[in-house]
Structure 1
């Protein structure tokens, strides 16, 4: 997806009959990850199904539709002037479909099945499971705990500074202290929709005696705008990393990881990347599903966030040397497949099914915009500044901190896609889920003990 070619490679002379040369050249032209002839054929078939009202929410049809939509949006965003270099593909995939739906340009016969499929299948959790397993299983076991322990320091410092800076800017813009703190800053850092906005709205409703549905409606545009700012900020960090290579580990969080890669024998690295087989990839996929179901069960039994449970089980397996090298190789192929071919379709589907354009535009009050921007940028800049003291790369640390203002799992995916750092998803999940849970619990405790207005 990120290496799509706009020009066809010349056919090797004599390798194919002359009558096939043009077709192979056309197959080398990609719309994101789809070869041009296949893209055009799929487009025609979907149009035919639409005219005959045969579009259903089944898996093959939905793969075709969201694959086409995601590939188109990704390709468009990648080619935007300036924005294409700071995460334009992720921004377009995450927000353009919602906008054209609001204009009435998308037929209801497409909106309804895509929404049904996205909400009923929960395939975002399949994505998160595959990427988390791929990331954790291919990390060095001796560096995992150090990385997870270290990330809490910039996250905590960044959260406190972002809170103070956001309050100051919000009050300068004329917002009341309670409004800017509990209804702007806390929702932005609350961990997204399911683990953040919904528990917050229910808690606020009980404490303040208000309708939780109305409170949730206020939160949604704030969260969406915060996620958009984080996408753009982290996309810009990718550019900074390319301009100043000494600031980035290119997806590695800790400096010691780069040193270890440099001293690792070349034979071992080659073996690790090339030993994958179909069976190993299938095994890694089933392992990802198993860990996801374990997270679901632990959530049902103890109320802990499922993705966080899954993440810690994966870390535990790695630390206990329970992941053989063959499974690591399969997990790496699985990781590459999902990050290359599933990211933009996932963002496209969620944009149609979940993101409502009217809710996003409702947040464009100058006070909200400045407060949200200040909060997100403070998180990011704090990670950038204190990373070196923690033995971590500034760009990667800043991106993980930025995920604290993400829209849950979908937000993390959009942010990391814009930053070209999907390897950081396990750390982003810590930032979003655990950081968000602490923010929500703290806000509810404080609000419950404040005197009524």
Structure 2
């Protein structure tokens, strides 16, 4: 009881924070909440943080099932599934995450801070081996899914085209949506039929990936030699950019880091939408996502060494702030767009669950083997190049890295989701055209 009295959440005494959360729940349930950014942020900050705090204190769950990150997301899904909050409130949260760009802001802040906090030479060295590691993960995922599909009677081709490819596809918008059109073109069927099934499949795949991320964190705690504690490559733990570590950022520097991140994202978006030869002049059947160009742009700024110390430190400080205080609120806005019934659809046949799990595990095996050749730590290599390929895209990256307590790996996670997702569109096009 004494511990509860001393507990504070976001600086508030627990009793006071519970009152704030109750107020927001009552307003949301009755659709009295503001339906703009202010209402959405208030609900996400208070209710999301409370749910995250609860999830981080549930025995077993906090250790093995993603803790507060997954708990907040699933409870938000329950809010949506059982209509525990009003339609206007749900729409406000969905809009805040999507159109308003809260998820984009969160990811770009983490990319900016994480890339600028790594030594320039080590950053370049790690990127060289990363794409081959992703490719090895894809091979491992498709191969193991095919084997399990053949053993369970589903069929190797069906397991690969209907399950493994969606899981590894990089999420919804840049993954299964264009894949559904490829499937329709190859089979003459209705794209929405394949899409509906694929959406349920990637939801389960994302859940498996989050659970495996938590297990990797546990593995790293039990065997310290297998993890760099948030650093991908051996040697990087001693080669962080000294500027971000030695210079103590001021409040003004935080604003500087924020400004750098949002401007660079705008530049990356301009390049992606209007300049990129791949996206705008070559008909390859896929495009490279803005976040992939964002990672490259920030990496160039780091490697060129043109940014002052206070800018790098400010970007790192903003990253730490968002990881600590904005992760749980983000999970509310992510989860509110899901329906728990989507998970139930796939549980009709245990073989489907086995194939999905095999896909995720195969990605981990492939990235483990290839990552060893490039000196990647097993935990960080499997987490980023493997599980961040097998999750639900950008929001899945946040969930997986959060469950593993390694948010500083966001730049690598985005390469997996974005560039790896584009690679999967090519893979899907080949398999659909060849075997369906």
Matched, 1:384 2:368: yes
Maintained 8 Å contact 1:292/1:307: yes
Instruction: Please list the CA deviations of residues 392-431 of structure 1 after superposition, one character each: whole Å capped at 9, or x if unmatched.
Output: 2111111112111011110000000000011111111111
Long gaps (5+) in structure 2:
280-287
Which residue pairs with 1:336 in the alignment? 320
Which residue pairs with 1:443 in the alignment? 428
Maintained 8 Å contact 2:148/2:156: no
Which residue pairs with 2:251 in the alignment? 278
Q: Report the CA distance shift for 1:193/1:52 in structure 2 as closer, same or farther (over 3 A).
A: closer
Maintained 8 Å contact 2:7/2:13: yes
Instruction: Please list the CA deviations of residues 49-78 of structure 1 after superposition, one character each: whole Å capped at 9, or x if unmatched.
Output: 458753122222221101122112212211
* Separation in 1, partners of 2:47, 2:294: 30
Instruction: Please list the CA deviations of residues 111-169 of structure 1 after superposition, one character each: whole Å capped at 9, or x if unmatched.
Output: 23223333321210000110000001111111111111122233222221221111110
* Separation in 2, partners of 1:161, 1:172: 17
Secondary structure at the residue paired with 1:405?
coil
* Separation in 1, partners of 2:307, 2:202: 37
Matched, 1:424 2:409: yes
Give the 5 Å matches for 1:132-147. Answer: 132-147=111-126
* Separation in 1, partners of 2:171, 2:30: 39
Which residue pairs with 1:299 in the alignment? 272
Which residue pairs with 1:214 in the alignment? 193
Which residue pairs with 2:282 in the alignment? none
Worse-matched range after superposition: 373-382 or 232-241: 373-382
Worse-matched range after superposition: 40-49 or 412-421: 40-49
* Separation in 1, partners of 2:146, 2:428: 14
Matched, 1:111 2:67: no
Which residue pairs with 1:59 in the alignment? 37
* Separation in 1, partners of 2:190, 2:12: 47
* Separation in 2, partners of 1:275, 1:122: 29
Q: Report the CA distance shift for 1:436/1:291 in structure 2 as closer, same or farther (over 3 A).
A: same
* Separation in 2, partners of 1:97, 1:84: 17
Q: TM-score, normalised by structure 2?
A: 0.90
* Separation in 1, partners of 2:427, 2:372: 29
Maintained 8 Å contact 1:251/1:421: yes
Matched, 1:7 2:6: no
Matched, 1:327 2:311: yes
Matched, 1:399 2:383: yes
Secondary structure at the residue paired with 2:32?
coil
* Separation in 2, partners of 1:44, 1:220: 33
Which residue pairs with 1:287 in the alignment? 260
Worse-matched range after superposition: 396-405 or 109-118: 109-118
Maintained 8 Å contact 1:299/1:306: yes
Instruction: Please list the CA deviations of residues 331-350 of structure 1 after superposition, one character each: whole Å capped at 9, or x if unmatched.
Output: 11100011111111111111
* Bigger Rg over Cα: 1
* Separation in 2, partners of 1:178, 1:43: 49
RMSD of equivalent CA atoms: 2.3
* Separation in 2, partners of 1:47, 1:200: 38
Secondary structure at the residue paired with 1:255?
coil
Secondary structure at the residue paired with 2:142?
helix
Instruction: Please list the CA deviations of residues 261-310 of structure 1 after superposition, one character each: whole Å capped at 9, or x if unmatched.
Output: 6xx9xxx67x8355201221111101111111122222222433111111
- Displacement of 1:109 in angstroms is 4.6
Worse-matched range after superposition: 46-55 or 214-223: 46-55
- Displacement of 1:381 in angstroms is 3.1
Long gaps (5+) in structure 1:
1-5, 9-25
Q: Report the CA distance shift for 1:54/1:38 in structure 2 as closer, same or farther (over 3 A).
A: same
Q: Report the CA distance shift for 1:40/1:94 in structure 2 as closer, same or farther (over 3 A).
A: closer
Secondary structure at the residue paired with 1:190?
coil
Q: Report the CA distance shift for 1:379/1:81 in structure 2 as closer, same or farther (over 3 A).
A: same
Worse-matched range after superposition: 252-261 or 334-343: 252-261
Maintained 8 Å contact 1:57/1:116: no
- Displacement of 1:35 in angstroms is 4.4
Maintained 8 Å contact 2:113/2:316: yes
Worse-matched range after superposition: 378-387 or 146-155: 378-387
Which residue pairs with 1:434 in the alignment? 419
* Separation in 2, partners of 1:127, 1:204: 33
